Structure 1
Amino acid sequence: MAAGTGTFATFLIIGPVCFFLGVLFSSFPYDYNVLWSTPEDPYLYFQILEDHIKFLHASPPIISRILHIVIGTGILGFLTKLYKASESNMLFDGASLVLYMAGITVYLTNIVKGMRVVTAGVYGNVSEEVDKDAGDYINREDTLRVYAASNTILALVLVGVLVLQAGQWYALNKEEAELKQMAKEAEDKKKQGKKKQ
C-alpha cells in the first residue's frame, strides 16, 4: 500500500474515533454522577440522565444518520488499510478493527437498546400481564447505570483504537529510521572501501 493511501486511511479511522470520543465526552457529566458520585439526592441525577437520554432519542433522524455515516467511514478506513496489507497493518489494524467492532457491538446492544428502553419507560416494574418478558427487564436505576457504564466502556475501547494506531505510526517511523541508518552505514562502508583501493 502506498504511503499516501495509508495516511489517508489512518485519517478515515482516527477522525470517526475522535468524533465518537467527543460525543461520549459530552455525555460524561451525566454518566459520572450516576456511576461514581454519591450525591445527597441520587435520584435527581437519575432523572437528569433519563431526560438526557429521552432528548437524544427524540432527536431528528439526521442526527442518527450522520452518526451511522461516521461509523461507516471508520469501517471504510479499516478496509482500505487492510487491503493488500503488510504484516504491520495486519497486527495493528487487525487489533484496531476488533476493538472498533467491539465498540459498535456495545453501541448497538447497550446504548441503542438503552435509549429505547428509557424512552418507552419499560423497566423491571412491568407486570407479567402487560408483557410476558417482564422478568427479563431490570429496574430504572440499573438500566441507567448500564447505559452510563456502556458509554464509559465504549470510550475505553475507542481510546484503545487510538493507542494501536499511534503504536503503528511509531513502529513504522522507527523502522524507517533504522532502514535509513542501515543504508547510511552501508554507503559509508562503500566509501571507505573505495578509499582503501
Structure 2
Amino acid sequence: MGIRASVVVCVTSFLLGALFTHWIADSLTLWKSPVTDEHLWTAASYYSILAKGPVEILYFLSVVVVLGATTILWSLGDGQAGNLMFDGGSIFLYGTTVVMYLYSVVPNLSAEFTTLPSHKLNSPFPRSLRISTLELASNNLVCSVALTGVLALQAGRWWAERADLEEDEQEASALVIEKEADDTKRKRRKERATGSEERSPKKLQKRRAHS
C-alpha cells in the first residue's frame, strides 16, 4: 500500500512540476494586466517551441501518465472504504487532467502553434491565436489545480490510515494489558487454591492428634 501511494505522489508531483514550467508563458497572459501583444507573442513562441519538440518527450509523458493512472486504479480495486473515497476522488481529478490535455491542450498545440506567422514583439497579435493562447493558459491552470487536489487527497488518505493504525495499536495494547491482568488473576487464584489444598491435610492431622 505504501509503495502504491508513493508512486502516485511521485507521478503527480512530476506532472505538476512539468505544468509549472509553463509559468514562463502563462504568467504573462493570466496574471499580468493588461495583456499586451508582446506578452502574447512571448507566450506563443514558448508554446511553438513545445509543439516542435521531440516526439519522444510526449511518449515519455504518456508512460508516466499511464503509470499513475494504473497505480490509482489498482489501489482503488482493493474495495476498502478509505480507498473508495480518497482514490475515487484522485482518479476523478487525475482523469480530468488527462482528458483536458488529450482533447484540448494537445490538439490546440498541434493546430495553432506548430508554425507562427513572422512577427515582431510589437506586431499586432492575431485574434484567433490570442484565444488559443489564453485557452492554453487556462487549461494549464485547471490541470495544476486538479493535480494539486490529487496530492491533497493522497495526503488525507495517509493521515486517515495513520490515525486508524494508531487506534488499532492502542486497542491491541489495551487487549494485551487486559490479557496480562486476567492471567495474573488466574495465577493468584491458582496459588491460593494450591495453598488451601496444602493446608487442609495439616489441619486434619492436627485434629486427629488432639483427638
Q: Same fold (TM over 0.5)?
A: yes
Q: TM-score, normalised by structure 2?
A: 0.77
SS in 2 for 1:16: helix
Identify the residue that residue 10 of structure 1 maps to in structure 2: 5
In the alignment, the residues of structure 2 paired with residue 35 and residue 121 of structure 1 have an alpha-carbon distance, to the nearest angstrom, of: 23
| 150, 154, 157: which one aligns with 1:168 | 157
Q: Are residue 190 (structure 1) and residue 179 (structure 2) matched?
A: yes
In the alignment, the residues of structure 2 paired with residue 150 and residue 141 of structure 1 have an alpha-carbon distance, to the nearest angstrom, of: 14
* Structure 1 residue 121: Cα displacement: 6.5
Give yes or no for contact 1:12–1:76 (8 Å, CA) kept in 2.
Answer: no
Give yes or no for contact 1:31–1:49 (8 Å, CA) kept in 2.
Answer: yes
AA matched with 2:13: C
| 93, 100, 106: which one aligns with 2:100 | 106
* Structure 1 residue 59: Cα displacement: 0.6
| 78, 83, 87: which one aligns with 1:84 | 78
1:22-55 deviations in Å (ceiling 9; x for gaps): 111111121011011125x711110011111111
* Structure 1 residue 106: Cα displacement: 1.3
Cα pair distance change 1:166/1:18, threshold 3 Å:
same
In the alignment, the residues of structure 1 paired with residue 86 and residue 162 of structure 2 have an alpha-carbon distance, to the nearest angstrom, of: 14
In the alignment, the residues of structure 1 paired with residue 75 and residue 166 of structure 2 have an alpha-carbon distance, to the nearest angstrom, of: 22
Q: Are residue 153 (structure 1) and residue 142 (structure 2) matched?
A: yes
Following TM superposition, the consecutive aligned residue runs of length 4 or more in structure 1 with deviations greater than 6 angstroms are none
Give yes or no for contact 1:30–1:49 (8 Å, CA) kept in 2.
Answer: yes
SS in 1 for 2:22: helix
In the alignment, the residues of structure 2 paired with residue 12 and residue 22 of structure 1 have an alpha-carbon distance, to the nearest angstrom, of: 15
* Structure 1 residue 117: Cα displacement: 3.1
1:104-128 deviations in Å (ceiling 9; x for gaps): 0111122112212322569xxxxxx
Radius of gyration: which is bigger?
2
Q: Are residue 115 (structure 1) and residue 109 (structure 2) matched?
A: yes
Percent identity, aligned pairs only, is: 25
SS in 1 for 2:21: helix
Give yes or no for contact 2:48–2:115 (8 Å, CA) kept in 1.
Answer: no
Structure 1 gap segments, 5+ residues each: 1-5, 123-137
Structure 2 gap segments, 5+ residues each: 117-126, 187-211
Q: TM-score, normalised by structure 1?
A: 0.82
Identify the residue that residue 20 of structure 1 maps to in structure 2: 15
